[in-house]
């Protein structure tokens, strides 16, 4: 009896020590103490030690493995600790390995926690086969009604792009809580299915599951991707009603949403009122300024960020460089590009080189742009493509051909590139050049990526493609477009000669504008989201429409925003 008491008090003492343990060194001492106290085989203490080593930030997985393999009696608890530890480590594959050992070669059976941890590892590894196998085991063990395991499965299938299976798992869940719904939303948005993500919200409303900050962040982010300002504003109102607007995550998502939906002022309004700002807050604002072509303000924001002692990361510099290049701030852009590695120890990635090439190219410094590409490694086709875009602005056939040759050599030429070079040839009246590019597109069967434009009317996002006839109000849209084209022509719009020669088509943004004019109140801005760049003809069309109808038109294209007002565009015709 006395011995038992003694052991209990020793055990208690060790557990107390473990609770106060905050370093590996202390842990080693405790372990040594365990050994000298004759508690080497004490199961509860070993489990505690193991759990600490495997999970705690001040633990060590290597040490955990050592303890694990010294343990004589491995119960589910010990397996769970080691699997959990590896699942969240830089080597999740080891979690799967331990799980395999547990299932195949041990006397312990996995429980719901085991599945939860090993599925986390599968999610991070995108290990589809293993996930399916574990899914089967989960069903055989009768755990397929467990809300947490099912949520894990949804996340796991979503991570590997199997949206349908994720949805099936979700649909079969006997009970779905808010976390499960939120997982479904992020499943869709991970795959770029933002419309579907927003639809989940409608289902949630009809099933009265409620909404929390996680839900809102997911939905607001989907609005941002879609450029769905009206729905985004509703979410903002909703966040206010729910008292969630103070949340750092919600605030960050709102800044990004407003910036991406063209309401930079609203983004600034929210940014200025946030008490706490993290790296996402600053980056969302700087990227917002950047894509709106407001380089000076992006720089100012960046300087304030440094004053606030926030360490920038690679995304920060993308925003900054994007702003510099669209505003033509060459010196500043180069300065920040260099600062990135010299002061902040961030290695520039292809995207940063892309910004630098764009910065030089856009400003007409094509030789410097060429030099940048040649000094960057690896030689990424994206960089040559950006240079080709600059050659279009500056009508430079020579450098354009160099860029095209390099794209060819890299085997990366696409239809967009051929069209770009054709436009460059057309700009200098080289009809033979234009013809040869058309021939290349035809003979090599290079597929053009279809352009589309979105416009949000009320809570509905409408999509148009080139010469779209599929919209239910198509006839009305075309009638309206003819009228708008006529009005625009009275305000200086002349259909681009090249556009006339190459096609009799109506680009998607023209259809979207006509629809927008028909369906929105006089004087309200028209917001359009496009997947490609705006062509010269549509650009001048929109300038004329902005005067003819006295409307502000805000177009988000693949890389930046254009604000058309009173016949002018914020990009100064330089994009």
Chain residues in the site for DNA (CB under 7 A): 51, 75-77, 80-81, 84, 111-113, 116-117, 120, 146-149, 151-152, 155, 177-180, 182-183, 186, 189, 212-218, 221, 224-225, 244, 247-250, 252-253, 256, 260, 278-281, 283-284, 287, 313-316, 318, 351
Nearer of residues 75 and 89 to DNA, judged by Cβ: 75
Q: Which CB, 320 or 329, lies closer to DNA?
A: 320
Residue 504 belongs to what H/E stretch? none
Least Å distance between CB 549 and DNA? 30
Q: Which is nearer to DNA, 386 or 513 (CB)?
A: 386
User: CA-based angle 355:402:407, to the nearest 5?
Assistant: 70
Q: Please state the separation of Cα 431 from the chain's center in Å.
A: 41
Minimum CB separation of residue 76 from DNA in Å reads: 5
Closest CA to 134 of 147, 124, 120: 120
- Provide the minimum distance between the beta carbon of 568 and DNA in the complex, in angstroms, as a whole number: 26
State the nearest-atom distance from the C-beta of 282 to DNA, in Å.
8
* Alpha-carbon span 385 to 376, nearest angstrom: 14
Whether 189 and 157 have beta carbons less than 8 Å apart is answered as no
Please state the closest distance from residue 560 (CB atom) to DNA, in A: 11
Beta strands 568-569 and 452-457, pairing class: unpaired
For DNA, the closer CB: 234 or 487: 234
Report the nearest approach of DNA to the CB of residue 468 (Å): 26
Whether 318 and 324 have beta carbons less than 8 Å apart is answered as: no
Taking the complex as a whole, the smallest distance from the CB of residue 500 to DNA amounts, in Å, to: 33
**H/E element, 253:** helix 248-260
Tell the smallest beta-carbon distance from residue 180 to DNA (Å).
Answer: 4
Least distance (Å) between residue 252 CB and DNA: 3
182/396 with CB nearer DNA: 182
Residue closer to DNA by CB (options 173, 366) is: 173
Shortest Cβ 354–DNA spacing (Å): 8
For 527, the 3-state DSSP assignment is strand
Q: Are 509 and 453 in contact (CB under 8 A)?
A: yes
Closer Cβ to DNA, 156 or 535, answer by number: 156
Note if the bond before 403 is cis, omega within 30 degrees: no
Measured between alpha carbons, how far is 54 from 323 in angstroms, rounded to an integer? Answer: 45
Select 120 or 135, whichever has its Cβ closest to DNA: 120
Measured from the CB atom, the residue of 178 and 339 that comes closer to DNA is 178
Q: Which of 98, 52, 45 minimizes the C-alpha distance to 72?
A: 45
Closer residue to DNA, CB minimum distance, 15 or 475: 15
CB 508 within 8 A of CB 466: yes
Q: How far is the CB of 59 from DNA (least distance, A)?
A: 14
Would you say 244 or 357 has its CB closer to DNA?
Answer: 244
User: Cα dist. 212→139, 181, 275, 277, 304 in Å?
Assistant: 30, 11, 20, 21, 32
Residues 6+ apart with CB under 8 A from 61: 53, 54, 85, 86, 89, 91
Question: What would the two tokens of residue 179 be?
Answer: 């976390």
Q: Which is nearer to DNA, 327 or 423 (CB)?
A: 327
The token pair at 124 is: 């991070």
Helices (H), 261-329: 264-272, 279-291, 295-307, 314-327
Q: Which residues lie across from 150 on neighbouring strands?
A: none
Q: To which residue do tokens 């060429």 refer?
A: 370
Q: Say how far apart CA 348 and CA 335 lie, in whole Å.
A: 13
**If we measure between CA atoms, which residue out of 86, 75, 76 comes closest to residue 53?**
86
Distances (CA, A) of 397 to 17, 387, 400, 417, 501: 74, 12, 5, 13, 20
Q: How far is the CB of 508 from DNA (least distance, A)?
A: 21
């Amino acid at each position: 009896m006395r011995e038992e008491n003694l052991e209990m008090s020793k055990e208690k003492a060790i557990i107390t020590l473990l609770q106060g343990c905050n370093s590996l060194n202390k842990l080693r001492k405790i372990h040594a103490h365990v050994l000298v106290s004759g508690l080497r085989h004490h199961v509860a203490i070993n489990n505690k030690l193991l759990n600490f080593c495997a999970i705690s930030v001040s633990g060590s997985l290597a040490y955990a493995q050592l303890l694990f393999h010294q343990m004589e009696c491995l119960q589910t608890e010990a397996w769970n600790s080691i699997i959990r530890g590896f699942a969240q480590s830089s080597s999740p594959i080891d979690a799967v390995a331990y799980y395999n050992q547990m299932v195949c070669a041990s006397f312990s059976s996995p429980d719901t926690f085991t599945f939860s941890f090993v599925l986390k590892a599968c999610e991070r590894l995108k290990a589809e086969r293993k996930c399916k196998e574990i899914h089967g085991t989960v069903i055989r063990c009768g755990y397929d009604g467990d809300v947490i395991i099912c949520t894990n499965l949804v996340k796991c299938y979503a991570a590997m792009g199997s949206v349908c299976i994720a949805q099936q798992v979700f649909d079969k869940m006997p009970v779905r809580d808010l976390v499960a719904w939120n997982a479904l939303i992020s499943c869709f948005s991970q795959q770029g299915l933002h419309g579907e993500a927003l639809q989940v919200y409608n289902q949630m409303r009809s099933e009265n599951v409620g909404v929390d900050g996680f839900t809102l962040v997911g939905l607001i982010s989907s609005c941002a991707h879609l450029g769905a300002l009206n729905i985004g504003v509703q979410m903002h109102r909703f966040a206010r009603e729910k008292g969630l607007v103070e949340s750092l995550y919600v605030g960050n998502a709102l800044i990004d949403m407003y910036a991406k939906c063209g309401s930079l002022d609203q983004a600034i309004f929210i940014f200025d009122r946030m008490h706490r700002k993290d790296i996402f807050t600053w980056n969302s604002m700087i990227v917002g300024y950047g894509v709106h072509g407001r380089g000076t303000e992006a720089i100012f924001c960046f300087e304030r960020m440094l004053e606030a002692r926030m360490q920038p990361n690679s995304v920060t510099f993308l925003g900054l460089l994007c702003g510099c290049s669209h505003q033509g701030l060459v010196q500043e852009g180069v300065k920040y590009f260099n600062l990135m590695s010299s002061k902040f120890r961030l290695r520039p990635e292809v995207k940063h080189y892309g910004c630098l090439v764009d910065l030089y190219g856009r400003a007409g410094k094509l030789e410097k742009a060429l030099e940048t590409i040649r000094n960057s490694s690896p030689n990424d086709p994206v960089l040559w493509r950006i240079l080709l875009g600059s050659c279009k602005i500056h009508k430079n056939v020579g450098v354009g051909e160099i860029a095209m040759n390099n794209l060819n050599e890299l085997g990366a030429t696409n239809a967009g590139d051929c069209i770009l070079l054709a436009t460059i040839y057309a700009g200098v009246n080289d009809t033979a050049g234009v013809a040869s590019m058309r021939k290349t597109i035809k003979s090599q069967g290079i597929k053009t990526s279809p352009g589309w434009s979105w416009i949000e009317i009320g809570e509905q996002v409408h999509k148009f493609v080139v010469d779209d006839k599929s919209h239910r109000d198509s006839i009305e849209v075309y009638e309206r477009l003819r009228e708008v084209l006529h009005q625009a022509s009275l305000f200086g719009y002349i259909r681009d000669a090249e556009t006339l020669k190459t096609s009799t088509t109506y680009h998607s943004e023209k259809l979207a504008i006509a629809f927008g004019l028909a369906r929105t109140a006089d004087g309200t801005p028209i917001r359009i989201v496009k997947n490609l760049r705006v062509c010269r003809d549509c650009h001048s069309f929109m300038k004329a429409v902005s005067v003819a109808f006295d409307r502000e038109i805000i177009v988000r294209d693949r890389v930046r925003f254009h604000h058309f007002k009173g016949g002018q565009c914020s990009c100064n015709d330089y994009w």
